[in-house]
Structure 1
C-alpha cells in the first residue's frame, strides 16, 4: 500500500477542517448494489480478502477536528483528520495564502495530526482523500475553519539578528515586545543547536529597557569557530492570555577569534588577549573612586566610530556633554564604554578619573575599535565597584556562575 502523502511547510500556518456530515457522504467507499440479502452459497463461496468481501466493507468516512465551519478555534490547537475505515490517501491543510501546515500520519494510516501550529485570526482549508484496501482512492472532501483573533500579537527582537561573526561571549538573545506570562511554554518552543555540540542553558531576565528577555549562554565561552542556530518555533504559542505569536523566528551566527579584553583598574592598563596570548597592552583611565568602573565580566555590545557622550542619558545629570567622540565601544547598556579621551591625556595610564568609562588616547582607541568585535568578553579586575551588573544590563549573563544561570530557566526542575 502506498504511503499516504502529507504535504506542508513550517511557515504561514492556517487551517481548515472537514465537515463531518459532508465527509460522510463524499468519502464513501465503493459498495455492492442490489439486495442486502446474501444466499448461503454466496457466504460459503466468499473467502477472506476476496474482492466480494471488500465490496461489502463499510464505506469510508473522514472526520476532522476542528469540524467544518468552526470559528474561534484556539490558535495552536492540533488538527486531526481520521478515516474510520480504509486509510488516508492525502491530507493538505493551507491558509488563505496557500501556505501549508505540516503533519504526520499514524502507523495504521488512519489518522493525520498537524505538527505545526495554526496562528491567530486565520482561515484554513483541509482537503483529504481515502484509499481502500487495494490502494484505490475512494473519495475526497474539503472542510474549512477559522482561528481566534489575538488581542495582542507578540513580536521579538533577536540578537544576533541573523548571520555574521561574533565574539566568544555572545549569547543567543530574544527580547519580547510584550510581557511573557507563560515563560515555560515559550521556552519549550525554543531550540539552540551548535556545531560542535556545546552545553548551555536558557535564562530569563529583564532587559535594561524593562522588557522580558530570554538568553541562551554556554557553560563557558564559546569555542572559536562554533556555528550556532536558533529555531524559535513560536507561531501560535500564547505568551499570555489573549497574546500570541504569529510567526516562527530563526537566527544563525558564527563565533570568531577567541578574544578577551582584560581591564586592570589599579594598574591603569587594559590587555587584548587572543587565543591565550596578549597581543597589546594599552594605557587607560578607568572610573574614579566616586564612579568606579563596573567589575566582573561583560560583553561588547556595539561600536560607533563617532558618538556624543551625554551624561543625561546615563543618569548623571549635566555632568558632561562631549560631542562627536571618536572610537566608542559599549560594554553595558547603562553607559559604560571604551572611548578615546583626548581631554584626559594627563591621567591616561596614571590615574582613574572618569565617570566609569575606560578612556584611551585617540590612537589606541582607534586600534582597539578596529581590533575587537561585538560579543568579545570584557573582564574588569580590581574595581572597587563590587555590585554585580544585572544580566539584562547589556549581556551581564557572565556575572553569574553557570549554576546560577541555569536556575533562571523556566524549565529548571
Structure 2
C-alpha cells in the first residue's frame, strides 16, 4: 500500500491531490478525514487499485488516512496513517451577497467580496459554480468594490425571470488566492427572484415610475440632482433599505453641505451615496425642479409607499440625467452599466 503524501509527512501544500495505490489486491475502502471529521472525497480506478482525491485538503489540518485492501482470496487488511497540511500565511474570507435565502429583485447579481486581494483570479473563478432553475445565461466579472476590495459578480445576460432559483457553490476550501494565502472552507448561498419590478427615474420630468410585469403601477413626483450634482444615470440596483437614517454629507465626500438626522424611508441604489428618500424640507421643489445633491427626494407619504413596495435587487433606470460619468461596476451593483460583451470580458476565464 502506497499513500502519497506518505505517513507522517508535514507541510503538505493545501489542495494537493492525494493518491492511494494498492501494491497487490484491490482497494476495498479509503477514508481520509481531518480532526473535525470532514472527509476528503475521491474516486477509485476501474481496476480497483488506485484511489485519487476529488476534493481538496485545507490549510493547517491533520488528516488521518484509513485504507482497506482486499486480497485475491478475499482477505482484508486495514492500515492507518496521517499527514499534515501547511499553515496558511493568510486566510482569505468572503462576504456573499445575497446572504443565504430570501427573495430579491430581477437585477440582483450573485456577489463574492474577498477580505484580501486575489492574485489567481482564474483559479478562484474555476471553483465557482452558479446553478439556476430555469437555466439562465450569465457570466462572472471581476471588479473592485467601492470599499477597495476585490469582488467577483455573476450577472445574467438580461434581468432574471420571475421565480428563478439561484444557487452558488463556491468550492474554495484549499484554493490559493495568492502565494501563501488560502481559503479554508467552501461557501454556498441561494435565493429566489421575486416580482419583475423596475424603477424608472425621468430626471427632466421630475417623476419616477414603478413598473411591475411591464405595467406602470404608480408614478411619483420627485426632485433629483441639480445641474451641479446630477443624479447618476444608467441602470443601478437597489442595495438596501432603512426606515430611518441620518443623511450626512461628510460620508459621501461633500464636506459639511448637509446633516439631516432621522430621515424616514431611505432606499440606497449606489454605495457612493445615491438614495431615494423622503425630503420634507424640499416640498416646494418636488415635481418642479431638481435641486438635490444627487439623491431622489419625494414627499413623506410617497417615500413610505415606495419604501414598502420595492425590494432589494430591483433595477433602477435613471433617464435624462446630465451626469455623463458611468457608474463603476463596483459602486453598488453597477454591473448593468456595461453591455453584455463588456461584462463577459471581465471574467478571468474570458477568451
* Greater share of residues in strand: 2
Matched, 1:401 2:334: no
Over 3 Å off, 4+ runs: none
Structure 1 window deviating more from structure 2 (138-147 vs 71-80): it is 138-147
Residue number among 23, 30, 35 corresponding to 1:96 in the alignment:
35
**2:107 alignment partner in structure 1:** 169
**Distance (whole Å) between structure 1 residues aligned to residue 207 and residue 37 of structure 2:** 61
How far does residue 264 in structure 1 lie from its aligned partner after superposition? Answer: 0.2
1:127 and 2:54 equivalent? no
TM-score when normalising by structure 2: 0.99
- Total equivalences in the alignment: 351
Q: TM-score, normalised by structure 1?
A: 0.84
SS at match of 2:124: helix
1:63-87, CA deviations, whole angstroms, 9 ceiling, x for partnerless residues? Answer: 0000111100000001100112211
Q: Measure how far apart 1:107 and its partner are.
A: 1.1
Choose from 270, 276, 279 the match for 1:341: 279
The offset of 1:300, in angstroms, is 0.1
Aligned to 1:353: 291
C-alpha deviations, 1:376-409, integer Å up to 9, x for none?
A: 0000000000110000000000000010000000
Q: CA deviation at 1:361?
A: 0.1
Could you tell me how far 1:176 is from its partner in structure 2?
0.1
Match of 2:210 in 1: 272
Ranges in structure 2 where 5+ consecutive residues have no aligned partner: none
Q: Structure 1 stretch 99-108 or stretch 188-197: which is displaced more?
A: 99-108
**1:231 to partner: Cα distance:** 0.1
Deviations 1:337-380 (A, max 9, x none): 00000000000000000000000000000000000000000000
Higher alpha-carbon Rg: 1
Cα distance in 2, alignment partners of residues 326 and 393 from structure 1: 23
Partner of 2:243: 305
Stretch moving more, 109-118 or 344-353 = 109-118
Counterpart mapping for 1:118-157 below 5 A: 118-134=57-73, 136-157=74-95
SS of the aligned residue for 1:203 comes to: strand
For 2:325, the equivalent position in structure 1 comes to 387
1:202 to 135, 140, 152: 140
Task: Give the SS at the match of 1:279.
Answer: strand
Given candidates 52, 56, 59, the residue that maps to 1:117 is 56
Q: 1:376 aligns with which of 314, 339, 342?
A: 314
**Offset at residue 202 of structure 1 (A):** 0.1
- 1:410 matched to 2:348: yes
